[in-house]
Structure 1
């Protein structure tokens, strides 16, 4: 069993996506298993991959469609599968709307990347707890 978080990224900005993937894979036990730039591609991936992922990171504004549509598609996930939003528009209203979709956390791209890293570390520990020393 792979002890790394199997993560899917929904982000249309190439620079942000590459930096995010690099940061997550370097600082957390994460393997990015794929990405989408549009709602349609993300929803199709989710339809074909109900299992095999632990985390999805979603931006709300995409080249086509909306991250909100991706969040809607994530509502049928298992208890060990987490969904987070990473957006430049993490306003109180957006945070409420995301909560309505059952999102596990919302992070602001400009100043909450460290909090996202901490979230990933916490999720990895929860999925794969260390054996207790005797």
Structure 2
């Protein structure tokens, strides 16, 4: 998994949960849009899931997601946000090709379930 999150505490928390409960392997982390884009350019085939926070300290998660428009089949883009789910946000993410949206505070268990299902479909790949 490639993780894009600007909060060090949130990044550590999500990493701890996903590695312990879903056996996810974190292959890269970026805190800003420019760093995320640079990492993605250098490692286009080294991730199966990109978990992207929409609001970053520099740039946006939307910019990161747009950069992934030509990703290979089987690579998933997931969004995590602290903002309430609303139809506008969900529609915007859907138009960008996002596979799922999760609220950081209330839907981490659903995120874990998604990651487990990805691992079950591709046991030879690191999430």
TM range (shorter): over 0.9
Spell out the pairing of 1:43-122 with structure 2 (5 A cutoff).
Answer: 43-89=37-83, 90-122=85-117
RMSD: 1.1
* Regions of 4+ moved over 2 Å: none
Cα distance in 1 between the residues matched to 2:81 and 2:120: 25
2:54/2:60 contact within 8 Å kept? yes
* TM-score (normalizing by structure 1): 0.88
Which has the greater radius of gyration? 1
SS of the equivalent of 1:78 reads coil
Per-residue deviation, residues 75-109 of structure 1 (Å, max 9, x unmatched)? 11111111100101232211111111101100011
Q: What residue number does 1:126 align with?
A: 121
CA distance in 2, matches of 1:91, 1:46: 28
Partner of residue 35 from structure 1, selected from 29, 32, 35: 29
Number of residue equivalences? 123
- How much does 1:55 deviate? 0.6
TM-score w.r.t. the length of structure 2 is 0.93
